[in-house]
Chains A and B, each alone.
Chain A
Amino acid sequence: MGSPDTACASYLDPILERYGYRSVNLLQILREAQESFGYIHPDAVDYLMLKLDIPRTKIEGVASFYSFLHLEPRGKYRVLFSDNITDRMLGSQALMERMCRNLWAEAGKITEDGLLSVDTTSCTGMCDQGPALLLNNIALTRLTEQRVDDICSLIRQQVPLHAWPTEFFQVTDNIHRKDLLLSEGFVPGAALEAALHRGAAGMLAELEASGLRGRGGAGFTTAVKWKSCRNAPGEQHYVVCNADEGEPGTFKDRVLLNSYADKVFEGMTLCGYVIGAKQGILYLRGEYRYLLDKLNAVLTRRRAQNLLGKNILGQPWFDFDITIHLGAGAYICGEESALLESLEGKRGTPRNRPPFPVTHGYLNQPTVVNNVETFAATCHIATAGGACYADIGTAKSTGTKIMSVSGDCARPGIYEYPFGVSVRQVLEDCGATHTQAVQVSGPSGVTVAAHEFDRQIGFEDLPTAGAFMVFDRNRDLFEVARNFVHFFAHESCGFCTPCRVGTSLLRNLMDKLHNGHGSPYDIKEIENLNQLLLSMSHCGLGHTACNPVLNTIVKFRPAYEARMLHQEFTPAFDLDWSLQAARQMTGRDDNLAHLSNTEPLP
């Protein structure tokens, strides 16, 4: 073996070369370094410090922010079970225990032989075909006991991943209702031709007439965003497509990218044309790593078709190209300013705003950040015109919306409707019966109870980024909310005090209720925390972290009352329970090894 330098150089040099030795690409460099070596070795950190001319603190600070990057050895096979409530409802927890039992593994740890680590991760976006897991960051779907056993033996025999049965990795679209966006017959280049014909100002006017609002959740008017960015001074303008899709229960961007990538890339190119950008970046969540090669192939084809690259469609002044940037397991990077930080190779911490990305975005230059679905929709506006688009949907919510339906229903999958569709209609179409509640737009959205099923999807009533999780009468809405609260505590970026500490406090309170120590005092505490998170948090994550609890407390009170075993405040600390570890270590479980809580302490 040579010195650490030469050992690392062999796999790091080509990566550094590809990313131009630029520290702004640090996240991509670290991700690829890990793909080559299994984890980010301290020698690799030394080498990168040298070659990128950045301090070790920067590299370690970034690497430790992202769930999928590791500064310490992990198993050769790294298994992460998707831990969304929908995966749980399909039995993910028992399957994970089964795998641990089969392979003598302990959740959260690496096995002694270094072969395997098993853990959980936030929703992987496979809710319609779960339970799902990520194996070395590649998605596996439709787990059953049989499949878990098969996986275990493949791991035991150390079969390399590429030799595994391909059906394990199959991800299907499951489209059950198509409308405008999911219709077939889009000819690549058609929208660009139409836009060129209209001219940039004309295209912007159509966008304005369409009334299109962002599909990523916040519903900001797209034309306003594009226009402000177009008018903002800067050396370069940038187009960024937000494909972080981290909101649990959302998977429509995955389907758009899998089968309608041309529309997404063409929408980005349209935007480049309108705002005068030369570069577009797709921020693809790490969980969708398996789509990377396919998407790159689409980009290559579009370059060959003269729809990307230099002189697009023969226009000498029209240069635009797109690169793909992969995330590494951080929900917060879906927040647009955190996403920009991440694109710049930093920790995904939301920026202080103002200024906004339209004037100070990627590399501090004017940048449009839009959701995948928003870009796809602009293609239809370019071809058919804004008025035509505005005819679909409702007055304040024009066009269609793609929903990701999962949970208790016969036909989970993708449904596209004109805005204004009722919750009841969607439930009927997906074959849901005895429905107790629907979580619209994921944990940060709204819990809709049965008496509200006539409410409509749209910015006027129920805005949504796309998630539609169905819970039937047998589900315990308290446990649903508790799962969501754990999600927020896990995904808080930790930048601001209220959210960093508050989401953990909230999780602890929900666990306290779960453990049977709850009283009305705790409900009051939850309400106070919510107020604090709402008013003091730095970004949307903190603002919405209490939503699931507040919604369910009001609408499903009995689920909480069943937990409030006490009328008076009771501490979360239980003396007898905390002796559990001592009992385990001494192998005792007799009467004398237990403290009765009713006996006063000496």
Chain B
Amino acid sequence: MSKTFTLDGKTIPFKDGQTIIQAALDAGYYIPHLCHHPEFKPHGSCKLCTVVVSGHQTASCTLQPAEGMVVESETEQLNAERRALTQMLFVEGNHFCPSCEKSGDCQLQATAYHLGMMTTHYDHFFPNRPLDASHDDYLLDLNRCILCSLCVRASRDVDGKNVFALAGRGAQTHLIVNARSGRLADTDFSATDKAAHVCPVGVILPKKRGFAVPIGERTFDKQPIDAYVDSRLARKES
């Protein structure tokens, strides 16, 4: 007999060692998330996946369920707070969706749609962030980085390379690459790296291939993000 917990009243089976979000996604239930990825170690920084467990709010990507645990996710309050977090991520960087190659394939954008975000609400920070076009095959547009560390984990844990890392503190936190020059071209990054294919937004982009799929026919144009459940499916489409 497998153990179960309930998510918004639905019974979800889980295996030992799974987190709440893993079990929920496996069972076909979507909980909004950005820094979680089923193939990588939990990180727990974006806080989009926050749920309520016995009155306390906690990230569902880092907490392991217990037998009979009661978890709430689709509440008005939680979705309002998730919307606010999404707005924060938008104003913190520079996101010009209409001109972004990732538009329609972007999890941040799709999550914003899902949560009914109509404006960015907060004043924009308009940070000065660089664009690194040094590499032959890939471009880094750091304007869009949401600091989810997926590329960091992919490069370290899968590629065994440590091409990316977070640096700085607080509002100055930013992505760096593993080269004295600070340029992607001077790292051992390659287009076949796992890290080249995990960015949920439009930072790590392939060059020489622009708008191959027209806007309107992209991943989240076809179905909203909650229909995919597992973020890997989004990538299989493209």
A interface with B by C-beta (< 8 Å): 42, 45-46, 55-58, 60-61, 64-67, 330, 347, 352, 489-498, 500-505, 508, 528, 531-532, 535-538, 571-573
Contact = CB atoms under 8 A, between A and B. Distances in A.
B122 A505 contact: yes
Contact of A496 (B47, B125, B168): B47
Given A55-B162, A508-B123, A535-B57, A491 B170 contact: yes
A573 B125 CA distance: 12
B56 to A, nearest CB: 9
The residue in B48, B163, B170, B179 that gathers the most chain A C-beta atoms within 10 A of its C-beta is B170
B44 A572 contact: no
A203 to B, nearest CB: 34
A352 B42 contact: yes
Contact of B168 (A494, A498, A538): A494
Given A494-B147, A494-B173, A64 B168 contact: yes
B164 interface: yes
Nearest to B35: A497
A66 B169 CA distance: 8
Interface of B: 42, 44-48, 50, 57, 59, 62, 81, 84-85, 88-89, 91-92, 122-123, 125, 146-147, 162-173, 176-180
Nearest to A494: B173
Contact of B170 (A56, A60, A489): A489
Contacts of B176: 57, 60-61
5 contacts: A65-B168, A498-B47, A500-B173, A505-B122, A508-B123
A347 B81 contact: no
A425 to B, nearest CB: 37
B91 A58 contact: no
Contacts of A46: 180
Nearest to A63: B167
B85 A536 contact: yes
A121 B196 CA distance: 39
A58 B177 CA distance: 10
Contacts, number: 116
Given A57-B178, A532-B81, A536-B57, A65 B169 contact: yes
Given A45-B180, A57-B178, A65 B171 contact: no
Given A535-B81, A536-B50, A330 B89 contact: no
Contact of A56 (B42, B84, B91, B178): B178
A528 B77 CA distance: 12
A212 B96 CA distance: 56
Contacts of B125: 504
A497 B168 contact: no
Contacts of A490: 170
B165 A58 contact: yes
B170 A494 contact: yes
The residue in B91, B147, B165 that gathers the most chain A C-beta atoms within 10 A of its C-beta is B165
A467 B123 CA distance: 34
Nearest to A57: B165
Contact of B92 (A55, A61, A501): A501
A66 B172 CA distance: 12
Given A45-B180, A46-B180, A498 B170 contact: no
B222 to A, nearest CB: 28
A538 B164 CA distance: 23
B88 A501 contact: yes
Contacts of B167: 57, 60-61, 64-65
B123 A492 contact: no
Nearest to B48: A497
Contacts of A61: 165-167, 176
A490 B59 CA distance: 24
Interchain residue pairs A-B with the least CB separation, the first 3: A57-B165, A494-B173, A501-B88
A322 to B, nearest CB: 29
B171 A489 contact: yes
Contacts of A497: 45-48, 85, 88-89, 146
A55 B88 contact: no
The residue in A45, A496, A528, A537 that gathers the most chain B C-beta atoms within 10 A of its C-beta is A496
Contacts of A494: 147, 168-173
Nearest to A352: B62
Given A57-B164, A490-B170, 9 more contacts: A57-B162, A57-B177, A57-B178, A347-B169, A489-B171, A494-B173, A500-B170, A500-B173, A504-B170
B22 to A, nearest CB: 14
A352 B62 CA distance: 7
Contact of B84 (A57, A496, A500, A532): A532
Contacts of A42: 180
A42 B163 CA distance: 17
A3 to B, nearest CB: 15
The residue in A66, A536, A572 that gathers the most chain B C-beta atoms within 10 A of its C-beta is A536
Given A42-B180, A532-B81, A536-B50, A493 B170 contact: yes
